[in-house]
A and B are shown apart, each in its own frame.
Chain A
């Protein structure tokens, strides 16, 4: 079993999480711990449960059993009434919203709010969730737009931005909330190849700042360079975990991983 790289309790602790869609098991007793400041990359064939696992971390998806804790606090559930020890209840929508504000998420399809400008997209959470004044929110938004190289696009609507620019706004929107963990779900998969670099550069600079990140990606070169550890998922379970060099080595003994990497290299190079 993989443990976090130091002895302090994990910031994110996923323990034996399982989930089925009907009769199809998408997550089979997945366990994973992520320490503060780590960058963990999840790779694996499509349908292996990577995105579902990520969406469970901020409870965009519920899970059937196991637990996910951030800073020791269970994400989607709270213990049931005392007379039924061992049971659990879904948290109230208000609780869930408060807990989700502690994680940031960046989506494959950007998912910017189309009626708000770049700055407006970032300010919405700051004013409504963090209760900041709109002038304070505006200056935070401008700060983060500057960080992602879009200071001059603050007043542009999403429709006026390129895919790469939209995704950088998406990243700024997530990190402006100062989340404990940033979840990145195939954030370059919908981009034209020439726009991938500008988005990955932003992610890299966040990693250097010590942002804790869990990302699903197909950018193997980036995974190798930016990750503390790589998780290989197959059939809804964690098949291998380790440092990038170890996981991406061609001579791995893990049969599934070797097949995945071989197929990946064949189709991408």
Chain B
């Protein structure tokens, strides 16, 4: 086993990894932002809706949760444009996919949070004369947010890692950059070591930041 580590080639192409990491973050941030909107709207709708709407939202959630993300990525990038006449770039296609995907997970997080808000608080909101909309904005959502923050952080980290799947449709994010360097230098161990470290550091930084937010919300102003 005469394999000696040589990182020189990695550093020479490091811009592929650095640029890839920035794109990964960009994909994650945009997709999660859209996913939050989808998740919030559907969760609020779900808890106040009748059986039909609930069934439709549940079907969406179950569909997404039972299909591998990579399949959804293929379906949206290769499948949809062949059926309807619509062209979009690979990054756009991936953001679309990950948004819908994260939306389904976030519906579940927000829905269980909304349902965990104690009924007494809603009664108190009614008793002082708040309208249903005011109760949602000023009573239910703030409490829901505090309940769901830990689960939310985990979901965000997980979705950030899922951006690596964009590499299968040649979106030049971090994993794609790693593959490119591997194909061109054959320094497989070195490049994946560095890439792993980059995912780890970024993931931990995100987690740390989110825990700070959690703590801020939990204690006195």
Contacts and interface: CB of A to CB of B under 8 A. Distances in A.
A and B assemble together: yes
A117 to B, nearest CB: 8
A124 B131 contact: no
A100 B129 CA distance: 5
Interface centre among A60, A104, A173 (most CB of B within 10 A): A60
Interface centre among B129, B138, B221 (most CB of A within 10 A): B129
B143 A107 contact: no
A114 interface: yes
Contacts of B124: 105, 107, 111-113, 173
Interface residues of B, number: 22
A125 B146 CA distance: 21
A113 B139 contact: yes
Interface string B129-145: 11110100011001100
A104 B129 CA distance: 9
Contacts of A114: 121, 143, 146
Contact of A113 (B121, B126, B132): B121
Contact of A97 (B129, B142, B143): B129
B220 interface: yes
Contacts of B220: 156-157, 160
A129 B123 contact: no
Nearest to A157: B220
User: Which secondary structure dominates chain B's binding surface?
Assistant: helix
Interface string B145-168: 010000000000000000000000
Interface string B105-130: 00000000000001011011111111
Nearest to B218: A159
Contacts of A107: 120, 123-124, 127
A93 B120 CA distance: 18
Contacts of A58: 126-127
Interface string B205-221: 00000000000010011
Interface in A116-155: 117, 124-125, 128-129, 155
A50 to B, nearest CB: 16
Nearest to B145: A115
A109 B127 CA distance: 14
A42 to B, nearest CB: 18
Contacts, number: 81
B128 A173 contact: yes
Nearest to B132: A93
B172 to A, nearest CB: 42
B217 to A, nearest CB: 8
A145 B124 CA distance: 18
Contacts of A111: 118, 120-121, 123-124
Contacts of A155: 221
Given A93-B131, A128-B138, A160-B220, A100 B123 contact: no
Nearest to A93: B132
A175 B121 CA distance: 17
Contacts of B138: 113, 124, 128
Contacts of A113: 121, 124-125, 138-139, 142-143
A125 B130 contact: yes
A83 interface: no
Contacts of A98: 129
A261 B106 CA distance: 54
Nearest to A130: B129
A174 interface: yes
A103 interface: yes
A226 B124 CA distance: 25
Nearest to B121: A111
A104 B123 CA distance: 12
Interface in A177-230: 177
Given A114-B146, A160-B220, A129 B127 contact: no
Given A60-B123, A107-B120, A107-B123, A115 B142 contact: yes
Given A107-B127, A109-B120, A113-B121, 6 more contacts: A94-B131, A100-B126, A103-B127, A107-B123, A129-B129, A173-B128
8 contacts: A101-B128, A110-B120, A113-B124, A125-B129, A128-B130, A129-B128, A174-B127, A177-B129
